[in-house]
Amino acid sequence: MRASRDESEQQALQLLVTKRFGMAAATYGLALLLTWITVAAGFYQAPVETAIAGSVMIAASQLIFFWVFYRGHNLRFRDPSLTEPQVLVALVWLTFFLFNLGDNRGSLLVLYVLVLMFAVFLPPKNFLRYAVLALFSFVGMVFFDAQMGYLNDPQTALLQTGVLLVTLVWMCLFVGYVYRLRQRMRQRRFALQAHQETLRGMMRQLEDLASTDELTGLYNRRHFLRKAESELSRLRAGHQSGLALIDLDYFKRINDLHGHAVGDRVLQTFASVARSCLRDDDILARYGGEEFVLLLPNTDAEQFRACCERLREAFANAQPPEGNMQAGHLSLSVGLTLLHEGDDLDESLQRADDALYRAKGNGRNRCETSWAPVNA
């Protein structure tokens, strides 16, 4: 169950990061379009072969990223989105593109913001690295043009550098704010999850209280009837379950002679003995007063009767909870019936009750069945 949930979460994560990659790939498609618009308009100051090389670089990088995402290799990394490699590739391409625009590059400074927008969810220190790289890339291009004598308007270049610096500083502050906001949201989510776990625990406790008899720790009558109906609905032809009503003999006399506190301990003694005699899948409940009800799934008449006899004998040999009570004073009577496909639960309980009535009428401390003996 846990493995299935982990696999489902991993598939959801992969779908999300693949969509993000799709957005990045679409942005690169627009970048290719922009490249050839500048070539056609005469703004591109390098040979056409250079534009072709830049286009090939974009296509090759995206094919490599697509293969990594398609094969699921990205899930091996701490950041499955591969944000930092993608931002680094984008900055390298952007530097190459702007370098070939010469004095026209100032009009496209906004592309730095576009590239760095994909990195806004990185930790602030990581984002700062790429912001510094972007600034140094632009300053490097301006400095290279100045050294080579290509810089026609130094004041405009200085203004562009200042605008880029202010923009990158603002983005760094914004990323820091977003990071702190995400940290607070994560803490609140963890706190909410902890509260939800507490509430689930309280709900389980309430369910236990609603389904359990406080004195014996066994199921109560209402919960038993619900589970018995469910078990009966699952029965198929050729399968049967055992249903028994159990009554502790002379329980009123025990209460009258030894007190209700001792009577309560007798009920607890029976519950403890019964748990040691039954399987985990068997369903035992306190039906009311000193009467209990037992459901054994997937059994037959012989096994069911043998189980009830073991329970009867174990209770008869149990140590009395009161010193004044002598050993052998504990006994019980059992009425047994079998459940088959299509049986009505109320009618089945009535059959078990009739068998219990016969057990008491025949001297108590015995098991009586509602079906005919095999040798009859």
pLDDT at residue 3 greater than cutoff 80: no
- Report whether pLDDT(225) > 80: yes
pLDDT above 50 for 375: no
Average pLDDT over every residue of 12-20: 80
Using an 8 Å Cβ cutoff, are 282 and 297 in contact? yes
84-93, 154-163, 316-325, range with the lowest pLDDT = 316-325
Q: Average pLDDT, stretch 189-211? A: 84
Q: Which residue has the higher pLDDT, 182 or 4?
A: 182
CATH H-level superfamily of 221-369: Reverse transcriptase/Diguanylate cyclase domain (3.30.70.270)
Does residue 238 surpass a pLDDT of 90? no
**CA–CA separation, 289 and 254 (whole Å):** 13
State residue 267's pLDDT score: 93
Q: State which H helix or E strand residue 6 sits in.
A: helix 2-41
Place 328 in a pLDDT band, splitting at 50, 70 and 90: low
The secondary structure of 9-51 as a DSSP string is HHHHHHHHHHHHHHHHHHHHHHHHHHHHHHHHHT---S-HHHH
pLDDT band at 374 (very low <50, low <70, confident <90, very high): very low
Top-confidence residue, 30 or 369: 369
pLDDT for 327 equals 62
Tokens of residue 182, six digits: 């995400």
1 pLDDT above the threshold of 60: no
pLDDT tier at 204, thresholds 50, 70, 90? confident
- Rounded mean pLDDT of 207-231? 88
Judge whether residue 39 has pLDDT over 90. no
What whole-number distance in Å separates Cα of residue 327 and Cα of residue 342? 43
Judged by DSSP in three states, 174 sits in helix
What is the predicted pLDDT for the residue at 376? 36
The Cα–Cα gap between 268 and 190 comes to: 42
Residue 54 vs residues 32, 36, 46, 95, 290: alpha-carbon distances, Å: 9, 10, 11, 11, 88
Domain regions of the chain by residue span: 2-194, 221-369
| Model pLDDT, residue 324 | 67
Q: Which residues contact 59 (CB under 8 A, 6 or more apart)?
A: 32
pLDDT of the residue at 79: 85
Tell which wins on pLDDT, 292 or 13. 292
Alpha-carbon distance of 57 to 64, in angstroms, equals: 11
Q: Using DSSP, state whether 77 is helix, strand or coil.
A: coil
Beta bridge partners of 248: 332
Task: For 354-371, write each residue's pLDDT tens digit.
Answer: 999 999 999 999 999 988
Instruction: Please pick, among 7, 231, 290, 309, the residue that the annotation labels catalytic.
Output: 290
Cβ distance 100 to 44 under 8 Å? yes
Which has the closest alpha carbon to 123: 60, 157, 172?
172
Q: Confirm whether 368 is a catalytic residue.
A: no
